[in-house]
Structure 1
Amino acid sequence: MNLKRILVVITDEETGKLAETTLQLDGYSVIRVTDALNALEYARLNKPDLVIVDIDMPRMEGLTLNRRIRHDREIHFVPIIMLTSARTHPEDRIAGLKLGADDYLLKPFVPQDLSIKVSRLIIRGEEHRAFSPLTRLPGNYALEAEITKRIESRKPFAACYFDLDDFRQFNDHYGYEQGDRVLRFLSMIISGAQNQWGNKGDFLAHLGGDDFVLVTAQDKVKAVCDQVIHEFNHIIPDYYEEHDRKSGFITVLSRKGESRKFPLMTISVAVAPNESSSIKHYAQLLDILNEMKHYAKKQPGSVWVKDRRQQTITKE
């Protein structure tokens, strides 16, 4: 069973250590950082199950970190607990809740109070993530249950992980509203390919952001992936403005203020077949899919790749 991951962002050593020890004793995996900028980057890369933020932070104070998390498409759903002190102005506490914090805890805190708040918010977060509010598809927990059921049945299946290339840059350039349109479009074409080529019992999940996973029969993979790639490549230029379509790229400013060019989006698909019941648990499947995804993203254009022991590359 995977431990729930909690990101603790506290500058004070004593308070941070108390929070870390309390949560570890409760059975959580805890990562503690003291800098909000590093915390934001960690959250984007690792998608913790909950974040605890001290309202007073160097470089980027707690309220700003709170707002940045809530406005980030990849981690906006993560529950947040604010730590405040008796000296914290009530208006700041209210501002934190308005910016999206789910709860707050007064310092110095009683460990039991922290445990109760964390447990409650993680349960609520799991309920919220059962379905994607954008696509209405099942999420992470439903996918894990489906994969576990299939592994235990010992029947062959294949998991197809769909991921967009340069989607974050598209979001930065065109905004989240247009990015959401792209995600709904992607959901639609995967569902369409599944309905046309897949089986009745196939399972499609939206893990958040631009990550989708389809569980289907091994002999359906090629037809499904080929159709998704074909339709994506044909239609995705319509989501760009005319001058970007003609030039074949968009220009985006990096966080350092540097101008960079990014091509029109492509799609990478990683496929992990469970032949001869070789995959024994969900985490093992995710490791294979991540390995294949990284390999796919190194290839030019839109591609789908299968586990390297029986590798297939198809592109347009």
Structure 2
Amino acid sequence: MEIKLLFDKLLSEEKGSEEFNIYKKTKLKEAKENLNAEDRVFLARYKNRPKAMDYIENLIEDPVFFHGDRKFKDDKAIVGGIGTLGDEVVTFLGIEKGRELKESLEANFGMPHPEGYRKVQRLAKQAEKFNRPVVCFVDTQGAYPGVEAEERGQGEAIASTIYEMCGLKTSIVSVIIGEGSSGGALALGVCDHLIMMENSVYSILSPEGFASILWKDSLRAKEAINLMKLTSYDLLKYGICDEIIEEDLALNQDDFMDNYKRLKKSLEKNISSLKKVPMEELLQNRRKKYENLIWD
């Protein structure tokens, strides 16, 4: 995997000088021209890739965060609240992996529990009540599969979230920002317009899970990646993804700023255009979008 070797090399040589920055940009630009599916999975999981909170901090002005599902507890793997995006007050929802080890442990490495999905439903219904657009940032390897999650109704929580989002009477724009795996991602992927960052991935489960089920061997994940058609370009081709946001390859947050700007411009445009669609037509189009996937 040449992209991983390049990233490791550049990080070890990072100097901050103007000469090094020019060298880094040249090397990253060259690497971008030759990315394969395996490279994009690496980039989607890259440790310094922005997380949901980074997107919220860079795109949403004056965010106010809400906590808890009003039934059990607050799940830190799901972040949400209200804020301003451009000229619109929106409800934002995100699956957060955590940026440092402490945050990652608190967020269960981005694997939500049932109470997280019930928090999604609570904030989504509030957005519907006040006619606020919903923006979702998706980044997860899947919902938490532990015994305690199953005891609290993980399957029902995901299914009912999908059900509620399908009929939510306000516009929804979802963005796959890193990994989008399994039903845990789909719960926040039901929307009117699905955007994928160029180096994100979206699939029914992780490549390791796919290989374990199909071949009983998780070490064949690389082989699975090439079969799964999980990149943004694959999914645009099959009509699952509606739009791809071009990415500059980024070693760290500073390298990602232009990517945020491109995404913000797209979100503002899509939120504005969806506001003009009559509600019945919006809901009908949303349902058709997913019915077509089933029958195709």
State the TM-score, normalized to the length of structure 1: 0.26
More contact order relative to length (CA 8 Å, sep ≥ 6): 2
State the TM-score, normalized to the length of structure 2: 0.27
Query: Higher strand proportion, which one?
Result: 1
Structure number with greater Rg is 1
